[in-house]
Amino acid sequence: KKSLLLLAVGFVMLATAACQSSSNSTTSSKSESAMTSTGENESSSKEEAKGTRIIKDQLGFDVELPPAKDIKRIAIHKLLPLPSVYAVYKGGNVDGLISMPPDSLNAAKNSILAKYAPDILNVSIDYYKGGELNMEELLKLKPDVVFYAGGEEERQQFVNAGIPAVGFSTVTPNGPNTIETLNAWISLMEQVFEEGSKVTGITEYAKEAQDEINKRLADIPEDQRKKVLMIGHYSSTNFTLGGFSDYWISVTGGINVGKGTQGNVNMEQVYSWAPDIMFISTLSDFFPEDFYNNTTVEGADWSGVPAVINKQVYKFPLGMHRWWPPSTDAPLSLWWIAKTTYPEKFEDINMDEKIKEYYKKFYGMDLTEEDVNSILNPVKGVGRTYY
């Protein structure tokens, strides 16, 4: 009996110890989990306490922003097309836009954007007078956030000034692509403002246009495709092809003669490429007539270039913004470039009607013939001055 009693007592003691160990283990596990959770949430808790939030911009930086409802004053730096994209994003209401690049204002003054969002003409450009950012002038405007392009140097100047800065990129992970870039910009603005765009469906329109263009050009043999030269910037000191050349040419069936070319181009290269057709962006103030008359840059002789000889030089249009970089008119560029390059494949496409339909569908605008003509035939003086 004594042995049985001792054995029973031993079992009880073992069971009690096991329970205590399990309890301690559970408590320790809970404690460790709580500490980990606390560590992970410490940052977000601090932001919540301050009423702010963290988003990641397109340049990979974490940006602390005030609540969306408190973002009422927006400045834009360097991103020339973004003020027009912002205007469309807001459905034509640009009350919150307080500052933008001078070249953006110059484009707006000479484009249909002034009709769509007339208040954009009142936006200040004083922060960038003389081609340099004046932080003192920018701070006078009391921005709640600045949208900018660039890198760490650009970002740091705003951080040092205490202005929340959201970085936008002009390229995508897959390289330059104006449609994808436009989508990425809109997506980032949706995070900043915690609201959707007032204009939707542009991406779907672009995909349908691209699919139709691909079908029409599919049967053109490689050796019969047009050799295309696109000029991004051209002046007495600057002759570059620009980052969007390869994108526009590749998606509209051409052969990019300058593919992979970096930096300034010279006439020797142009002659070796012998382009069949040339496009000039609205970032340059030269027009087809300047090439035909050989009155571009001193010392540059275009008279022997096939595209010039055959009068196949074309100026990019200017709608809500320049059609060369990312813009809300980008899908129309697809049609215009494809039709201009291969007119026989797009005889049934009337660009005047395409533009009118597009502007009615996405901007609610009824364009006149004069409006359309102004888009397809931009005036002199809308080239790039800065950057």
State residue 17's pLDDT score: 43
* 188/183 Cα distance (integer angstroms): 9
Non-local CB neighbours of 197 within 8 Å, separated by 6+ positions: 88, 89, 186, 189, 190
pLDDT of 248 reads: 97
Residue 109: is its pLDDT beyond 70? yes
Say if residue 20's pLDDT is above 50.
no
Q: Look at 49-53, 320-324, 367-371, 378-382 and tell me which has the smallest mean pLDDT.
A: 49-53
pLDDT digits (tens, 9 = 90+) for 143-192: 999 999 988 888 999 999 999 999 999 988 888 899 999 999 999 999 99
What are the strands, taking DSSP E only, across the chain?
53-56, 62-65, 74-77, 97-99, 145-148, 165-167, 227-231, 233-234, 239-240, 255-256, 277-280, 313-315
pLDDT of 384 strictly over 70: no
Task: List C-alpha distances in Å: 308 to 31, 241, 383.
Answer: 77, 17, 21
Give the distance, in angstroms, between the CA of residue 90 and the centroid of all CA atoms in the same chain.
Answer: 16
Q: What is the pLDDT of residues 229-261, one digit of tens each?
A: 999 999 888 899 988 999 999 999 999 999 989
128 vs 269, more confident: 269
Domains of the chain from N-terminus onward = 55-193 (3.40.50.1980), 208-376 (3.40.50.1980)
Each residue of 268-308: pLDDT tens digit? 999 999 999 999 999 899 999 999 999 999 999 999 999 99
Confidence at residue 11, expressed as pLDDT on a 0 to 100 scale: 39
State the pLDDT at residue 50. 60
Q: What is the pLDDT of residue 129?
A: 75
Average model confidence (pLDDT) for the chain? 88
β-pair type (255-256, 227-231): parallel
pLDDT at 12 over 50: no
Alpha-helical (H) ranges within 194-329 are 202-217, 245-251, 267-273, 288-292, 306-309
- pLDDT category at 321 given cuts 50, 70, 90 is very high
| Tokens, residue 297 | 């840059």
Reported as a pLDDT band with limits 50, 70 and 90, residue 22 is: very low
**Which pLDDT belongs to residue 277?**
98
User: Across residues 21-26, what is the average pLDDT?
Assistant: 43
Stretch among 46-50, 116-120, 295-299, 366-370 having the lowest mean pLDDT: 46-50
Residue 39 has pLDDT above 50, yes or no: no
Instruction: Return the bridge partners of 315, or none.
Output: 280
Round to whole Å and give the CA distance between 207 and 214. 10
pTM given for the model: 0.85
Can you tell me which residue has the tokens 């932001």? 47
Mean pLDDT of 329-346: 98
Instruction: Answer yes or no: is pLDDT of 3 > 50.
Output: no
Predicted confidence at residue 208, as pLDDT, reads: 97
Q: Rounded mean pLDDT of 200-206? A: 95
Q: Which residues pair with 146 in a beta bridge?
A: 75, 165
Can you tell me which residue has the tokens 């707006």? 108
**b/e sequence 248-286, b meaning 16+ C-beta within 10 Å:** bbebbbbbbbbeeeeeebeeeebeebebbbbbbbbbbbb
The helix/strand/coil state of 327 is: coil
Q: Is the pLDDT of residue 320 over 90?
A: yes
Read off the pLDDT of each residue in 64-76 and give the average, rounded to a whole number.
97
Percent of the chain scoring above 70 in pLDDT: 86
Residue 120 has pLDDT above 50, yes or no: yes
Q: What is the pLDDT of residue 143?
A: 97
Give residue 18's pLDDT band: very low, low, confident or very high (50, 70, 90): very low
- What local confidence, expressed as pLDDT, does residue 27 receive? 42
Task: Considering only residues 127 and 39, tell me which one the structure prediction assigns the higher pLDDT.
Answer: 127
